[in-house]
């Protein structure tokens, strides 16, 4: 079966058929980071301070992460060509003083960006945003970007590991100036909350009240649970989980639930009209 053969697991699959579809709870990988936090998402002791909770879904061409920050992260660029990675951030928590940097504040030459990266002034060239919980941002490949401190973010991204660091606040890690400058977008671009029609994935955000039901119809998708409890394809779900779905599958909320459905564009099919059941 597709679910069984396309994912690697460290534990037995948690799958169940329903209405011809399947849902599988993905196993997270917890990653401790110096810029992580101990007071946010639950994680094993060995993964503290937790920076990333990663769910891999290569079958859907997606990776889903929860990130939580106590310090600014490196200023990065993802490639627009081979290894391309478009991303989407959804802010679930923003502590006082939290910010993120997204794109340039004003157009800049590659030479000016390179000089700013070398002399430590690069953050001053970036558009600084102070988000609130519930805000969302689509990050096109090539956009210079960085998360600041005090954030918890759900990240949806293409299944790629390629990241080029432009600036890292003096941390002793490798920078990739040549590659990052080659890929970087150097014009000011509008802030986008959601991916558009040309994006490689589509997103549906929805909420259910207790007793609410919906049928997820995409051929394949990733479902991230922001909050709430219920069942999907007959299996219990809870907050901070991610599921791989091969629809149609039924989802039922036992408590107020907020969810995000991410679908690869080739399999685009959101919640079916009329599928919100009584």
Among 165, 173, 220, 265, which one carries the catalytic annotation?
A: 165
Provide the Cα torsion 204, 210, 212, 218; round to 10°. 40
Burial of 112 (0-12, 13-18, 19+ CB in 10 A): middle
- The answer to whether the beta carbons of residues 271 and 212 sit under 8 Å apart is no
Burial of 124 (0-12, 13-18, 19+ CB in 10 A): exposed
> Any bridge partners for residue 213, and if so which?
252, 277
Type and span of the H or E element at 178: helix 177-183
End-to-end CA distance of the chain: 32
| Torsion-angle region of 83 (φ positive above 0: left; ψ -120 to 50: alpha; else: beta) | left
- Catalytic: 84? no
List residues with catalytic annotation.
165
């Amino acid at each position: 079966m597709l679910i069984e053969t396309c994912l690697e697991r460290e534990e037995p699959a948690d799958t169940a058929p329903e209405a011809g579809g399947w849902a599988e709870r993905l196993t997270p990988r917890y990653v401790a980071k110096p810029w992580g936090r101990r007071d946010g998402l639950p994680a094993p002791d060995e993964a503290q301070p937790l920076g990333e909770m990663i769910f891999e879904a290569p079958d859907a061409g997606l990776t889903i992460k929860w990130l939580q920050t106590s310090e600014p992260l490196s200023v990065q660029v993802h490639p627009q060509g081979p290894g391309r990675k478009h991303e989407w951030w959804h802010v679930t928590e923003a502590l006082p003083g939290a910010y993120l940097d997204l794109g340039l504040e004003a157009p800049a030459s590659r030479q000016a960006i390179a000089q700013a990266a070398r002399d430590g002034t690069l953050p001053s060239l970036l558009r600084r945003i102070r988000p609130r919980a519930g805000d969302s941002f689509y990050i096109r490949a090539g956009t210079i970007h960085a998360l600041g401190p005090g954030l918890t973010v759900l990240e949806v991204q293409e299944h790629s590991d390629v990241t080029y660091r432009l600036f890292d606040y003096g941390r002793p890690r490798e920078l990739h100036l040549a590659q990052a400058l080659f890929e970087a977008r150097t014009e000011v671009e509008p802030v986008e909350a959601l991916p558009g029609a040309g994006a490689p994935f589509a997103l549906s955000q929805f909420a259910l009240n207790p007793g609410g039901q919906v049928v997820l119809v995409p051929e394949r998708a990733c479902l991230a649970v922001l909050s709430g409890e219920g069942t999907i394809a007959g299996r219990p779900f809870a907050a901070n989980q991610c599921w791989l779905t091969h629809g149609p599958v039924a989802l039922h909320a036992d408590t107020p639930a907020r969810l995000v459905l991410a679908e690869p564009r080739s399999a685009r099919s959101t919640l079916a009209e009329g599928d919100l059941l009584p």
